[in-house]
Structure 1
Amino acid sequence: MYEAYYGLSAKPFQLKPDPHFFYGSKGHKRAMAYLDYGLSQGEGFIVITGEIGAGKTTLMRNLFAKLESDKIQAAQIVTTHVDSDDILRMVAGAFGLAFEDASKSVLLNRLEQFFRQCHAQGKRALLVVDEAQNLTPRAVEELRMLSNFQTSEASLLQTFLLGQPEFRKTLLGGGMQQLVQRVIASYHLGPLDAAETRAYIEHRLQTVGWQGTPAISDAAFIAIHAHTGGIPRRINTLCDRLFLMGYLEELGAFDATEVASVIADIQQEFALPEDAAPPPEQEQHGVGNETAIPAPVQTLPVLENMNERLSKMERSVVSILDAVKKIVSTPRARKTPEEEA
């Protein structure tokens, strides 16, 4: 795709979290400092919140890349709306323990024995819970109960909770006081400012060998920040499409005009079709009165893995265009007089 066209060694704006591309903004550095501090304490809970795409998972991948496997036994789970028993099964499975058809008491016993075995080997168990906003209060309470496993001198499990901002509402709700008292550090990861957005883009490009081509104007950087709000995942999505357009149209520079064009294309692709627009309010006549009943609000269906689907579509389009270019550029063989006759 555009990587080869612009002389890049890899795709700079991939959506998959990759510690190789980690950019230490002011917020990300502070969040990482809290995580490092938590590791040094070896107990309690660390809570990191942030908007969707703010870089929480990338932050954790960067932390995992630095962990010493001979000292820390780490496991990560991504939660959905699960009950208290299911969260224990997920934790057991993440640490490689059998959990099928096991009762709650059996799961707790297996987990405690595993944590004690880690301690005997000189290791500490670390559990990372991603998408913590999906946890029910009862599931959060089960995680707190796991923190009760300890020896006379040390805790056997430490837990990092990563979630969207609404997770803080769960923590501030009733019955969470005991867990909150065990939170040794908490940090909210905000968006990048305009200068950081530019530095973030340039960092990712330089990581894959960018030499200034395509050039990106000051106005383009401002337009990218204005549209994405400084959220890294949104920046990646927009810049990936921008570079794809640059490849298809053979551009050597991007200005605000190109950014606006890509934004318009994206908005048009996911706009509600005209024939699917909600109909005007319909009136329903009752006995002795007249009540206007609005039609149900129609919404776009949830598109799972939308970015992955877009990538597949883009690859297909690029393959077709490459094939067309080859056909157009290949000279036709001249017919012989016998063939023309």
Structure 2
Amino acid sequence: MLLSVAGGSRIMYLTYFGLQDKPFSITPDSKYLFLTKQYESALDALEYSVRERLGFSVLTGEVGTGKTTIARTFLSKLGDGFESALLVNPLLSIPEMLQAINKDFGCATRVLSPQRQIESLNKFLLDSASTGKNAVVIIDEAQNLSVESLEMLRMLTNIETDRAKLLQIVLVGQPELTKKLETYELRQLNQRITVRANLVPLQFVEMVRYINHRVTLAGGLNKIFFDATAYKAIWRSTKGFPRLVNIICDRALMAAYVADTATISGDIIRRAVKDIGVVAPRTGWLSALKNLKVNRLLCRLYTKP
């Protein structure tokens, strides 16, 4: 075991390196967004769809490719001309989903029936449109939505004027979302999607810049150094998945602190990878994620005292 007191060391390495905060937290934070071409393209596409009131748009990507970060960044860029609702738990019944949307919009009603919820939402959307505002709902982990819930969302976009749709919906999810939308039951909804963006893992050069970007923003410029062997070792273990890069780099900083060094070497990375049980991907992104067992890994690392 490389470190037996991970939690305490994680805090102490901030002081050791003179950092303002953790550069490799796995919590989505727009501040640390590294705007690659694909991320910029995805943000532009979503913004275009919403501002033009086109109705539905979809953002997909494998686990750990930065979907939630992009969604939250998009949300923060909307400005005062928008009303927004964010659903992060789509495992809801239709009445619960409608109530959650209305609650975020500030128009919730105590009556849980879909009819009353839709009436309340309809009034809110008309009132917003009369003041020149646009309304957008972002649903994360949308691959978990039931067919019935997705159909209800389609029905909500029928609330419109002669010129534009009053509700814009952004579905964010894993590739399973695309497969679900392609089913016969959802063919009407699938035809209404005007913008589709898909995120893939970082390329090697992007990954190097991503790491340096996060270190710099956290206050680690000229304080923390990754050598060439470290970058190669990170790439072999993560294949460019940002979340996995963060996990390994965070553990490597703890290891460097314990070793009293500011230089992250390939050896430190390999020991960190071994310590947290990461297995190098073999074939394909989906197989890679299955091999890495990301969800189990996150539970092990971030539920320890």
TM range (shorter): 0.7 to 0.9
- 1:73 match: secondary structure: strand
CA apart distance, 1:64: 2.1
Amino acid at match of 1:102: L
CA distance in 2, matches of 1:252, 1:19: 27
SS in 2 for 1:187: strand
Structure 1 Cα separation of the partners of residues 163 and 301 of structure 2: 48
2:48 aligned partner: 37
Opposite residue 239 of structure 1, the aligned amino acid is C
1:226 maps to which residue? Answer: 236
* Secondary structure at 1:224 match in 2: helix
Quote the residue 1:146 is aligned against. Answer: 156
- Counterpart-to-counterpart distance in 2, 1:80 and 1:40: 24
SS of corresponding position for 2:198: strand
Q: In the alignment, is the contact (CA less than 8 A) between 2:96 and 2:112 conserved in 1? A: no
Does residue 63 of structure 1 match 2:74? yes
Task: Say whether 1:98 aligns with 2:92.
Answer: no
Counterpart Cα distance in 2 of 1:164 and 1:55: 11
Gaps of 5+ in 1: 269-298, 314-341
Q: Cα offset for 1:307? A: 4.3
Instruction: Specify the alignment match of 1:308 in structure 2.
Output: 302
Shift of 1:66: 1.7
Matched, 1:109 2:123: no
The reply to whether residue 202 of structure 1 matches residue 212 of structure 2 is yes
Q: Given that residues 53 and 232 in structure 1 are in contact (C-alpha distance below 8 angstroms), is that contact kept between their aligned partners in structure 2?
A: yes
Alignment correspondent of 2:252: 242
Q: What's the counterpart of residue 19 of structure 1?
A: 30
Deviation at 1:215, TM superposition (A): 1.9
- The runs of at least 4 consecutive aligned structure 1 residues that moved more than 4 Å come to 301-307
Distance change (3 Å), C-alpha of 1:307 and 1:126: farther
Letter in 2 for 1:82: L
Are 2:94 and 2:114, in contact at CA under 8 Å, matched by a contact in 1?
no
Any gaps of 5 or more consecutive residues in structure 2?
1-11, 279-292
TM-score in terms of structure 1 length: 0.77
**Residues 261-317 of structure 1 deviation map (CA, whole Å, 9 limit, x = unaligned):** 01111119xxxxxxxxxxxxxxxxxxxxxxxxxxxxxx9x9688554324xx4xxxx
Amino acid of the residue matched to residue 44 of structure 2? A
CA contact (8 A) 2:159 2:165 kept: yes
Deviations 1:38-77 (CA, angstroms, capped at 9, x unpaired): 13312211100011121111112212222212x1001100
CA contact (8 A) 2:159 2:167 kept: yes
- RMSD value, Cα: 2.0
Identity of aligned residues (%): 33
What secondary structure does 1:175 align onto? Answer: helix
**Structure with larger Rg:** 1
Paired with 1:154 and 1:197, the residues of 2 have a C-alpha distance of 40
TM-score by length of 2: 0.86
Q: How many residues align?
A: 279
Partner of 1:265: helix, strand, or coil? helix
Equivalent positions of 1:231-270 (< 5 A) are 231-267=241-277
| Pair 304,191 (structure 1): closer, same or farther in 2 beyond 3 Å | closer
Report SS of the residue matched to 2:79: coil
